[in-house]
Amino acid sequence: MTTATLDHSAATADSAPAYLSIRDLHAYYGESYIVQGVSFDVREGEIVALLGRNGAGKTSTLRAIARLSSPEAKQGEIWMNGQPLHTMASHQASQLGMALVPEDRRIIAGLTVEENLKLAQIAPPIGWPLSRLYELFPRLGERKAQEGITLSGGEQQMLAIARALARDVKVLLLDEPYEGLAPVIVDEIEKTLALIKEQGITTILVEQNAVRALKLADRAVILDTGGIVFDGTAAEVLNNAALRAEYLAI
């Protein structure tokens, strides 16, 4: 990838500098060109909803930001708090505080809830202590001796988020955290995400449940066929029926 310095300190709408800046990101699965020049900024402590139809490229964009090898990012820059993530491997990005919670949650079989969390803390940078994680997710505290994969879907999502916070996370990338969950559980996770935001953690929230995501998010970025078609406030999307119909089918 290019390491040429672009203006990664570009100020965003309300003039605060970006904490995370994605600049002209292009990524491929083999020959398939999927992420086609994505640029957007996220300010510190902000929740940005990354939305778009099925196949728009949301998961691929998150994976490219987390520096996973597939899709392969071939062009563009990713700056986090002034650090050039585009020059780094995924484990280095993770060390600096980039955490991806994938759609399938990846709870480790054969380990209890507590063992899943302790495994995340096996090496620095260590984040929240277990006591604080159980305070944030009381259900996990009640079930800490239960095998992780026997938790309900909502509890597994909580464990996946808690495991990210068990490391010293600065930017949380969440891929469809509400998928398959009852509205009452979505309420619970939504409250937790608001508390995480209060701690100054920056979040990109990918969701099919766009209305729920927009209610929580400060801003929204909409993707369509691997490119950005909207970047603005969440309120603008909620108030723009034509935009919602065209790109979000809501």
Ligand X SMILES: Nc1ncnc2c1ncn2[C@@H]1O[C@H](COP(=O)(O)OP(=O)(O)OP(=O)(O)O)[C@@H](O)[C@H]1O
Partner interacting with residue 197 (select from Mg ion, ligand X, none; CB below 5-8 Å by kind): none
Partner interacting with residue 55 (select from ligand X, Mg ion, none; CB below 5-8 Å by kind): ligand X
- 53 or 118: CB nearest ligand X: 53
Interface with Mg ion includes 156 (CB under 5 A)?
Answer: no
Dist CA 50 CA 28 (whole Å):
19
From 117, 39, 45, 34, select the one nearest 68 (Cα to Cα): 34
User: What would the DSSP string read from start to end of 172-213?
Assistant: EEEESTTTT--HHHHHHHHHHHHHHHHTT-EEEEE-S-HHHH
CB of 58 to Mg ion, least distance (A): 5
Positions in the binding site for ligand X (CB under 6 A): 29, 32, 34, 52, 54-60, 208
CB of 60 to ligand X, least distance (A): 3
From 183, 82, 196, select the one nearest 135 (Cα to Cα): 196
- Sole window of 50-58, 79-87, 158-166, 216-224 interacting with Mg ion (rule: CB under 5 A): 50-58
Hunting for tokens 């490391």 — which residue is that?
A: 167
Interface with Mg ion includes 203 (CB under 5 A)?
Answer: no
- 29 or 194: CB nearest ligand X: 29
Tokens of 187: 């309420």
Interface with Mg ion includes 116 (CB under 5 A)?
Answer: no
Partner interacting with residue 209 (select from Mg ion, ligand X, none; CB below 5-8 Å by kind): none
From 67, 42, 12, select the one nearest 200 (Cα to Cα): 42
- Sole window of 13-21, 52-60, 89-97, 242-250 interacting with Mg ion (rule: CB under 5 A): 52-60
- 58 or 197: CB nearest Mg ion: 58
CB of 80 to ligand X, least distance (A): 21
Tokens of 175: 């891929």
Dist CA 113 CA 93 (whole Å):
25
Interface with Mg ion includes 21 (CB under 5 A)?
Answer: no
Partner interacting with residue 163 (select from ligand X, Mg ion, none; CB below 5-8 Å by kind): none
- 60 or 94: CB nearest ligand X: 60
Dist CA 190 CA 48 (whole Å):
14
- 12 or 90: CB nearest Mg ion: 90
Helices 153-165 and 113-120 meet at what angle, rounded to 10?
A: 30
**7-13-16 Cα angle (round to 5):** 70
Cβ-closest position to Mg ion: 59
Exposed, middle or buried: residue 165 (CB in 10 Å: 0-12, 13-18, 19+)? buried
- 16 or 211: CB nearest ligand X: 211
- Find the binding residues for Mg ion in span 54-93 (CB under 5 A): 58-59
- Residues near Mg ion, by CB under 5 A: 58-59
